[in-house]
Amino acid sequence: MSVKDEQSKKKVEVRYVARVEGQGAINVKVSSSGSTSAQFAVFEPIRLFEAFLVGRKYNEVHELTSRICGICPIAHQIAALRAVENALRIVVTPQTRALRRLLALGGWIQSHTLSLYFLTAPDYLGFDSAISMASRYEDVVKQGLRLKKLGNDLSEIVGGRAIHPISAVVGGFTKAPAKEELAEIRKRLKKEKEDIWSAVELFSGFNYPEIDRKTELVAISNDEEYAVNEGRLRSSSGIDSPEQDYRIHVQEKEVGYSNTKSSLIKGNDFMVGPLARVSLNNEKLTPDAKKAAKHLGLDLPCYDPFANIKARVVEVVYALDESIRIIDTLKLDFSEQPIQAEVGTPCEGAALTEAPRGLLYHWYKLDRSGVVQKADIVPPTAHNSTSIEASLCALAPKLIEKGQDPTLGCEMLVRAYDPCISCSVHVARVK
C-alpha cells in the first residue's frame, strides 16, 4: 500500500468502550476506496466456565452459571435450570413457570432501565454520564433509579436475591414469595406504569443515527405469550425449530483478536435482542406496549440496531403490564416443593431463553450420576458480535462522510446493542 493510500485511511479506535458492561474495544478502518473493516474486540479475560462445569453436579449448574453475568444472572439461571430439567425429563408446575417468568421480568426491568437511563440517555442528552446528567435532568435520573430498583426488588422477592438469586432450583422454588410482598410490589408496578409515558416521550424525542442494512432477526417465540423463558427458535428469514435444534442453525468461529467467538447462521451475521423480539413477537405485546411502540415510531419489521433502544422501552412497558398480570392471576400453593430429580441414565438437554440483551443458549450432557460431562453456552453478545461488526462497517463511513465524529457514533452503536461482555467470553463449544 502506498503512503498516500495509508494517509487517506480513516480510523476509529476505542481502546475501552465506556458505559457498557465489561471490557471491549472498537477498531474500524475506512479506506479511501470505500472498503471498511471493523473489529469488536473483547479483551475481557477468559473464565473457562465450560471447562470447570465438567465434573459438577446437575443441581449446582444454575448456581455456577449465574456467575457468568452479574447483569443477567437470572437468564443464565433459568436457561441452565431448563436445560438440566430437559435432560432429566422434569416438567415443572404452572406455579414454577409463572414465578420464573416474574423473576425474569424483574431482570428485564432492571437491565433495560440500567441500559436506557444510565448507559444510553447520556449520549442523546449530551452528557458523559448519568452522574453529570443528574444536575439538569434530575427527574429523569430519579425515574431511572426507581425503575431499576423496582426490577431488582421484584427479582429479590421472587428469587431471594436480585443478583445471583438463590431460591430457584432444579424442579421449582425452595419457597414461594410472601403474598404481602407481592401485593406491595404490585402497587409500585402500577405506579411506575402510570408514570412510564414520560419515558416513552423522552426516548421518542432523541435523534438516533440510522443504519439501513437488512439482517436476520432471531428470537424465541411461543403461542401462549411474549416469549421470555421458553419457546421455539424463530427468525425473520423463516427459521422455526425446537430449541434442541439450535446447533443445526447457529455455528461459531474463533477470531484471533477477540476472546469472544463469533456466531453465524448460514455464514451470515444475525441480530438478537429487544428489536428482534418485538419484531417477531409483536402480536403478543400488551395493548399499552403496542401503543408505546407506535408512539416511539417503531415501524416493524425493523433491522436498524439503534431501534433496539426503542424496543427496550416497549419491553419495559410490557414487563410492567405482564408482571402485574402474573401477580393478579397467581394462586400460590405454599406447600409446593421442588420436583425431585431422578438420575440413573446418561442424558442431555438444551434450553433457549431470552436474556434482556437477547437469545441465550445452554446445553448440558450428564452422566448416570447427574454429573456434567460436557457443556455448551452461547450468550447474547456472542450472537451479536458479528452483527456489531457489520453495523460498525455500515455506520462509520456514513458518519465520516457527514463530517460527524465517528468515534462517538460507533460507541453509541455498540451501546445500542447493550452488550454484556463478561457474558460473551467463554462462549464455546466443548469439543
163 touches another protein (CB under 8 A): yes
Nearest approach in angstroms of CB 301 to another protein is 32
360 touches another protein (CB under 8 A): no
45 touches another protein (CB under 8 A): yes
Stretch of 148-156, 180-188, 264-272, 319-327 contacting another protein, by CB under 8 A: 148-156
334 touches another protein (CB under 8 A): no
The H or E element containing residue 37 is: strand 36-42
Residue (43 or 197) nearer to another protein, CB: 43
Pick from 56, 193, 213, 365 the residue near another protein by CB under 8 A: 56
Stretch of 137-145, 188-196, 263-271, 293-301 contacting another protein, by CB under 8 A: 137-145
User: Which residues in 5-24 contact another protein (CB under 8 A)?
Assistant: 16, 18-23
The H or E element containing residue 26 is: strand 24-30
The strand pairing partners of 173, in sequence order, are 168
225 touches another protein (CB under 8 A): no
Q: How far apart are alpha carbons 32 and 400 in whole angstroms?
A: 11
Pick from 9, 11, 89, 142 the residue near another protein by CB under 8 A: 142
Question: Long-range contacts made by residues 242-251, C-beta under 8 angstroms, separation at least 24?
Answer: 243/350, 243/351, 243/352, 244/86, 244/349, 244/350, 246/350, 246/352, 246/361, 246/363, 247/350, 247/363, 247/376, 250/361, 250/378, 250/383
Alpha-carbon torsion 210, 215, 218, 223, what sign? positive
Count other Cβ atoms within 10 Å, centred on residue 335. Answer: 6
Residue (264 or 288) nearer to another protein, CB: 264
3 state DSSP class of 25: strand
Pick from 10, 29, 47, 365 the residue near another protein by CB under 8 A: 47
Nearest approach in angstroms of CB 336 to another protein is 12
| Exposed/middle/buried for residue 135 (C-beta within 10 Å: 0-12, 13-18, 19+) | exposed
64 touches another protein (CB under 8 A): yes
Stretch of 57-65, 230-238, 339-347, 356-364 contacting another protein, by CB under 8 A: 57-65
155 touches another protein (CB under 8 A): no
For 36, the grid coordinates are 471498511
Q: How far apart are alpha carbons 156 and 396 in whole angstroms?
A: 42
- In degrees rounded to 5, what are phi and psi of residue 240? -155, 90
424 touches another protein (CB under 8 A): no
Residue (166 or 300) nearer to another protein, CB: 166
The strand pairing partners of 262, in sequence order, are 253
Nearest approach in angstroms of CB 162 to another protein is 7
Residue (60 or 348) nearer to another protein, CB: 60
Count other Cβ atoms within 10 Å, centred on residue 241. Answer: 14
Pick from 68, 182, 289, 293 the residue near another protein by CB under 8 A: 68
367 touches another protein (CB under 8 A): no
Pick from 39, 236, 259, 387 the residue near another protein by CB under 8 A: 259
Nearest approach in angstroms of CB 180 to another protein is 15
Give the amino acid at 398: K
- Give all strands (DSSP E) within 346-427, no chain letters: 347-355, 358-366, 372-378
41 touches another protein (CB under 8 A): no
User: Which residues in 93-122 contact another protein (CB under 8 A)?
Assistant: 114, 118, 122
Nearest approach in angstroms of CB 295 to another protein is 27
Cell numbers 442453525 label which residue? 249
Cell numbers 477470531 label which residue? 255
Cβ proximity of 382 and 46 under 8 Å: no
Cβ proximity of 41 and 381 under 8 Å: no
422 touches another protein (CB under 8 A): yes
Residue (16 or 345) nearer to another protein, CB: 16
List of residues contacting another protein (CB under 8 A): 16, 18-23, 43-52, 54-57, 60, 63-64, 67-71, 73, 114, 118, 122, 128-132, 134, 141-142, 145-146, 148-149, 152, 160-164, 166-167, 169, 174-175, 254, 256-257, 259, 371, 422, 426, 428, 430-431
